[in-house]
Amino acid sequence: MSLITWTKEEFGTNVTVADEQHKVLFGLLNDLHDAVPAGDRAAIGAKLVALVNYVVEHFAEEERLMTATGYPDYAAHKAEHTKLLETCSGVAAKFHKGELDITHDTTAFVKDWLVTHIPNVDKHYGPYLNSKGIS
Ligand SMILES: [Fe+2]
Ligand SMILES: [Fe+2]
């Protein structure tokens, strides 16, 4: 069973590019989660890199939309992104040095972050970006 499933009710921001990227993000997190039980470090590492790279790409896109439109809560929003990326970079670096394993606790941490951040932080830019003609 998938760790995380995108639904419009829970995660819809009313901004198409964000919703599409969130769906991809969930897919990459599910892929990583599903790779954990077999314990193949090469496979897990590849999925971890794919997930972290996509998180970077997604955050950059959200930040681009927010700065382009002068979004008032940009700084606080970006600070949340930066904090998660610092955590993810630290985990990935330790994993690649062989100092840490990726477990279901790791994927649960990312899920918890997403299910908090998207409804409580991302959703707030929806009406603002819509008012600037982005939907
Ligand atoms: Fe997002
Ligand atoms: Fe965000």
Cα separation values, 60 from 35, 37, 39, 95, Å: 27, 31, 31, 24
Question: Does residue 105 carry a pLDDT above 80?
Answer: yes
Question: Does residue 1 carry a pLDDT above 90?
Answer: no
Q: What are phi and psi of 50, to 5 degrees?
A: -60, -40
Q: What is the mean pLDDT of residues 9-25?
A: 98
Ligand 1 centroid – CA 62 distance (Å): 7
Ligand 2 centroid – CA 80 distance (Å): 7
Question: What's the CA gap between 60 and 85, in Å, rounded?
Answer: 11
Q: What is the reported pLDDT for 72?
A: 97
Q: pTM higher than 0.75, yes or no?
A: yes
Domains of the chain, with CATH numbers? 8-131 (1.20.120.50)
Ligand 2 centroid – CA 13 distance (Å): 11
**Ligand of minimum distance to the alpha carbon of 81:** 2
Q: What is the mean pLDDT of residues 39-52?
A: 98
Residues, beta carbon < 5 Å, ion ligand 1: 122
Q: How confident is the model at residue 9 (pLDDT cuts 50, 70, 90)?
A: very high
